[in-house]
Structure 1
Amino acid sequence: MEIIGGVMDFAGVLVIAAGVLAALVDFGVRYVRTREAAGLYTLCRQSVGRAILLGLELLVAADIIRTVAVSPTFQSVGVLAVIVAVRTFLSFSLQVELEGRLPWRAEPPREPSR
């Protein structure tokens, strides 16, 4: 189980790094084509945010696997609770930042395309 937790940690970090790199490459390619960064900046931020969210989910899963399956002591479960709380807060904050609204708020109606 320790190996699986380590693999999940590596996968989480890899997803974050690859997502950030992909977002930056996409930003660069689109900027070279259009020479306008205004809308591209927001798109790049959203892509980076999504990569971080996915990576955080994998890191939380790795922590849960290691704590519950390897050494389920009260101390390790308490540490897991703190880690999950911090990462959940980060995920929540990123989600609000990406969507521009609280998760329990209805999505604003979109204007029809012209």
Structure 2
Amino acid sequence: MIFDVSSAASSAGELANQTLSFELTRLVESLLQEFALFLKIILEFIAISIIAISLAIALQQLWQKAKRGRLKDAQQAVRLELGLSLALSLEFLLAADIAATAVSPSWDAIARLAAITGIRTFLNFFLQKEVRELEAMNQQIRENAES
């Protein structure tokens, strides 16, 4: 039996190339997963910040109006602003969920994303509906005040 050195060297080179390619692919996948996790955390931080800042502003506005005895007038305007902020934060949370699912789309993750998306879309729909109603009421109040 004659051992072909050039064939063995060629096979070893191909194996090394395949191993390098596999390792490079794993590295890129790992970096992509880390970036998606980082992006998810940033988007969730933005959403929570929007909620916290909006809540602080709403409470401050209510406090100022209550001191002047105009709490009832302020409630609708504050609810409108807070509702818009909550809708915006829901969009950021949805983006965070999509970013997290995009890199590891198992059926379990996709089903979880579908459920979360459905719930958040449902919440956002009714939140936007309430915001439109509050805007219409505020417009009517302004028109009545001008008359």
| TM-score (normalised: structure 2) | 0.65
Structure 1 residues without counterparts, runs of 5 or longer? 102-106
Q: Which runs of 4+ in 1 moved over 2 A?
A: 109-114
User: CA–CA distance in 1 between the matches of 2:133 and 2:82?
Assistant: 15
User: CA–CA distance in 1 between the matches of 2:65 and 2:38?
Assistant: 40
Quick check: which one's helix share is greater? 2
Q: Which residue of 2 aligns with 1:17?
A: 52
Q: How does 1:1-114 map to 2 (within 5 A)?
A: 1-32=36-67, 34-68=68-102, 70-100=103-133, 111=143, 113-114=146-147
Q: Which residue of 2 aligns with 1:104?
A: none
8 A contact 1:23–1:48 mirrored in 2 = yes
**Which of the pair has the greater relative contact order for Cα pairs under 8 Å at 6+ separation?**
1
Structure 1 residue identity aligned to 2:110: V
Cα distance, 1:17 vs structure 2: 1.4
User: CA–CA distance in 2 between the matches of 1:47 and 1:31?
Assistant: 17
User: CA–CA distance in 2 between the matches of 1:50 and 1:19?
Assistant: 9
Compare CA radii of gyration and give the structure with the larger one.
Answer: 2
Structure 2 residue identity aligned to 1:49: G
User: CA–CA distance in 1 between the matches of 2:55 and 2:125?
Assistant: 19
8 A contact 1:12–1:59 mirrored in 2 = yes
The count of residues paired between Structure 1 and Structure 2 equals 107
